[in-house]
Amino acid sequence: MIFFQYEIMRIIDRLDKYIAYKGLNDNKVTVSCGLSSGLLSQARGGKCDIGKKSLDKILNFYQDLNRVWLITGVGDMLNTPSDELTAPADSDDTGAVSYTHLTLPTT
């Protein structure tokens, strides 16, 4: 009889993998994302989960981090260039983007 053995990773475990890959630390992530002090260590210890608001803050700041992978473990840790939304080169300093050059396909 064959049993499949697999490791179940929590969100915090996957986040730790990303943190190590990027050479970050808890303080850098916490401060950069505006998270509560101690949130990551409490999540590691099982005292709390990383909530939706905190996940959104992390994913908004670290935009190369794949949302689906972080939450489910499916896919690659990093977004591929086709997964990322990037502003066209003609965006100005205010963040406004001109789409006048955009041509839609005709049917």
Q: Which of the 8 DSSP states describes residue 21?
A: H
Q: What is the pTM of this model?
A: 0.70
Q: Using one digit for the tens of pLDDT, what is the confidence trace for 11-61? A: 999 999 999 999 999 999 999 999 999 999 999 999 999 999 999 999 999
What pLDDT, on a 0 to 100 scale, did the predictor assign at position 11? 96
What pLDDT, on a 0 to 100 scale, did the predictor assign at position 102? 44
What does pLDDT average to over the chain?
82
Which tokens belong to 6?
Answer: 């697999």
Q: Which of the 8 DSSP states describes residue 7?
A: P
Instruction: Tell me the C-alpha distance between 87 and 94, whole Å.
Output: 12
Which tokens belong to 3?
Answer: 């049993």
**Largest Cα span, the chain:** 63
What pLDDT, on a 0 to 100 scale, did the predictor assign at position 58? 98
Say if residues 16 and 43 touch (Cβ distance below 8 Å): no
